[in-house]
């Protein structure tokens, strides 16, 4: 008697977003951090993303943030990230300079 094991390949997709934006009218690093914290908290709470400032920490008026989401669908991940980006554009007082969304499948 033979037994066969059927293995199902389930892919893992990591979708990532990188945003560079200007924070107008900030006079000190405390104001920049307040705005940045608000943006990152909204991304984390509304869209369940991992998010952090990843570059331009030394700049007073610019910031680069990154966010990531793990799922089993490229479409789902990129759709969630696009919605997070749309929220940042509409609900925050930052000027978007650049945005990239990318997914990797493992």
User: What is the Cα–Cα distance from 69 to 102, expressed in whole angstroms?
Assistant: 11
Instruction: Indicate the domain borders of the chain.
Output: 13-105
CB 53 within 8 A of CB 40: yes
What percentage of the chain has pLDDT greater than the value 70?
91
User: What is the Cα–Cα distance from 76 to 13, expressed in whole angstroms?
Assistant: 10
Instruction: Look at residue 7 and tell me whether its pLDDT is greater than 70.
Output: no
Half-sphere exposure of 13 (CA within 13 A, CB side): 15
- pTM for the full model? 0.83
Q: Does domain 13-105 have CATH number 3.30.70.1120?
A: yes
User: What is the Cα–Cα distance from 59 to 69, expressed in whole angstroms?
Assistant: 27
pLDDT at 11: 81
Q: What is the mean pLDDT of residues 90-100?
A: 94
Instruction: Look at residue 99 and tell me whether its pLDDT is greater than 70.
Output: yes
Distances (CA, A) of 101 to 20, 42, 61, 72, 76: 12, 18, 23, 16, 12
């Amino acid at each position: 008697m033979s037994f066969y094991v059927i293995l199902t390949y389930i892919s893992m997709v990591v979708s990532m977003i990188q945003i560079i934006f200007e924070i107008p009218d900030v006079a000190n690093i405390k104001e920049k951090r307040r705005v940045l914290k608000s943006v990152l908290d909204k991304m984390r709470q509304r869209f369940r993303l991992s998010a952090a400032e990843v570059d331009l920490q030394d700049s007073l008026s610019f910031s680069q943030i990154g966010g990531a989401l793990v799922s089993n669908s490229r479409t789902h991940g990129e759709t969630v990230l696009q919605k997070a980006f749309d929220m940042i554009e509409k609900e925050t007082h930052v000027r978007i300079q650049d945005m990239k969304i990318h997914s990797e499948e493992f």
